[in-house]
Structure 1
Amino acid sequence: MGAATVPIEQADLVSHAIGELARRTRFPVAFGGLERDGAIHVTAIHGARTRSIEGLVVQENRGLGGRAFAEKRPRLALDYRTSRTITHDYDRAILGEGISTLFAVPVIVTGTTRGVLYCGSWTQAPVGDVVAEPAFRVARDLATELRVRDEVDRRIAMMPTGSPDRALSPAAQEEVRESYAELRSVAAAIEDESLRVRLEQIERRLAALTGARGTAEGSPEVRLSPRELDVLACAALGATNSEIAQQLDLKETTVKSYLAAAMSKLDASTRHAAVARARRIGILP
């Protein structure tokens, strides 16, 4: 059961998700991992009393997690030891930890299972909506961040290579700006504060690709609120107030208010001038 090597960033995402899973549910044991080479490789464990789960690799359709992986839906074993609906390939790991009830939730990204998160209890524990919903939210948050990172990495890979000082082509700059606006829209809908912080780190990565270095020399520091930045990022792509309102799930009057505040802070008389100055001082890519 050798553990797979996964990118450090993705391993950190899974570790955070497992910590949230343990915090939000009443299960004493939480573990999980992402898919690699057709199997789920467990890379994060919280609350285990033994080391039996370490390095677990779960094949598709095998065990409880393998079924969740293949069927793309949660699976539950109230009494894992006697369950007849799963194979028992991983009894040594699961029963070795003393787990009785096991709940497996797949992480689905654009229709593909990218990982599985597990909650376990040493005694039989019923799993109702109050227990299951927090686990579903953690899986959805992880899926969202994986999807965003996939898209960012895809667009970065399409950009021209060469000297770090080489300016991006106009088409490449638009790719960055579209990704940035989409990322702002996704982040605006996420309640998990730590997840939003990590998404902001990706935003800065995108902004850096256009050569933005922060506040321009000699310019006063400008701080936009998250919502002002959301609205301005959409406006930078030419979206109307109505379109921005629909995209960010806001009232059109609210969009106008945020845009006016951003223009005032940027000392700009039009939205186009606000966008231009925000790009010049590194607030927008």
Structure 2
Amino acid sequence: MTHTATEPMETSLIDSALTKLASVSGIPVAFGGATVDGVVAVTTIAGARTTALNGLSVSPRRGLGGQALIDARPHATSDYGASRRITHDYDRHILGEGIAALLAVPIVVAGRTRGMIYGGSRAPGTVGDRFAASAVAVAARLAHQFAERDARERSSAGPLGGPTAATVPASSLEDVRLAYAELRSISGTIDDPALRARLSSVERRLAALGGMAGDVSDDRLPIRHADSAVSLSRREHDVLGLAAVGLTNADIAVRLGLRESTVKSYLASAMTKLDASTRLQAVSAARPRGLIP
């Protein structure tokens, strides 16, 4: 693990989260850092075999990360060296480390990219669905932590610049999403109408806390948001929601009492509706539409 000099306070949070993500995901190379003066400064590197990534700073619209920085959404390439969709300003860093497949996940707060998480594989293809979903979840949790800190700083300044009582931090957004997905998987096994109604009430509250705009009140109806033409069936919703918090198809099958092939079918159907080619893209498309927390 390589650490370089830190600048903003966000760096320590990114460092801790990225270090843990790299250790549990098994990704060959993980790196990232906070946005400083509009540029992503890479300050944490895990799994490197060379020093090629040291000192990497990514400017807007440059390379894969520079595009993710501007678009405020994840970008990936299965063969970095051959890609024609990105600039190759950072080839000496990325290719110098032997990275072929690369994923860049921005940490976005109020529409502004505050940092970046990268995952790389030394073989062309993908970085893996499990790492991709986990990276998106980690970025969402970091964004929530940054937003909470921003709110505390605004509150401490007070209306006239004077100190006020510190605000109580809200629960982790990712914990809310995980609790919602877990509750959905449990409620699907309950036959008692009264108990299911009570569970549905809790689901609605968790969905609202997680930023979900779709209606979860009736399991017979599809999940739909008034501003979106896309709707998900209940099973598509449940499968995608569990995938969004990092579960594999096998894990999801166990949670929902389904065959793994059935899970793949529901996931593929949701991806088609959302015009996504990967589960990462599907999650990124579903959340802004309010279809999953």
TM-score range (shorter-chain normalised) is 0.5 to 0.7
In structure 1, distance between residues paired with 2:126 and 2:154? 42
Counterpart of 2:55? 55
Do the aligned partners of residues 99 and 188 (structure 1) sit closer, same or farther apart at CA in structure 2, a change above 3 Å counting?
closer
Counterpart of 1:137? 137
Partners of 1:4 and 1:36 within 8 A in 2 = no
In structure 2, distance between residues paired with 1:191 and 1:89? 37
Q: How does 1:1-285 map to 2 (within 5 A)?
A: 5-7=6-8, 9-127=9-127, 129-158=129-158, 172-173=164-165, 176=166, 179-180=167-168, 183-186=169-172, 189=175, 246=205
Shift of 1:157: 2.8
Counterpart of 1:283? none
TM-align CA RMSD: 3.0
In structure 2, distance between residues paired with 1:121 and 1:248? 34
Which ranges in structure 2 are unaligned for 5 or more consecutive residues?
179-200, 210-293
Q: Letter of the aligned partner of 2:175 in structure 1?
A: A
Shift of 1:25: 2.8
In structure 2, distance between residues paired with 1:247 and 1:81? 43
Which ranges in structure 1 are unaligned for 5 or more consecutive residues?
163-167, 193-241, 251-285
| Other structure's SS at 1:93 match | helix
Partners of 1:61 and 1:69 within 8 A in 2 = yes
- Give CA-to-partner distance per residue, 1:63-106, whole Å, 9 cap, x none: 00001111111111111111100000001111111111111111
Shift of 1:247: 7.9
Normalising by structure 1, what TM-score?
A: 0.56
In structure 1, distance between residues paired with 2:207 and 2:70? 34
| Other structure's SS at 2:76 match | strand
In structure 2, distance between residues paired with 1:80 and 1:152? 40
Do the aligned partners of residues 84 and 248 (structure 1) sit closer, same or farther apart at CA in structure 2, a change above 3 Å counting?
closer
Shift of 1:128: 5.3
Do the aligned partners of residues 87 and 141 (structure 1) sit closer, same or farther apart at CA in structure 2, a change above 3 Å counting?
same
- Give CA-to-partner distance per residue, 1:94-131, whole Å, 9 cap, x none: 11111111111111112211111100111123245434
Q: Letter of the aligned partner of 1:87 in structure 2?
A: T
Runs of at least 4 residues off by over 6 Å: 159-162, 247-250
Q: Letter of the aligned partner of 1:153 in structure 2?
A: E
In structure 2, distance between residues paired with 1:248 and 1:138? 19
Partners of 1:107 and 1:140 within 8 A in 2 = yes
| Other structure's SS at 1:117 match | strand
Do the aligned partners of residues 112 and 78 (structure 1) sit closer, same or farther apart at CA in structure 2, a change above 3 Å counting?
same
| Other structure's SS at 1:107 match | strand
Shift of 1:191: 8.7
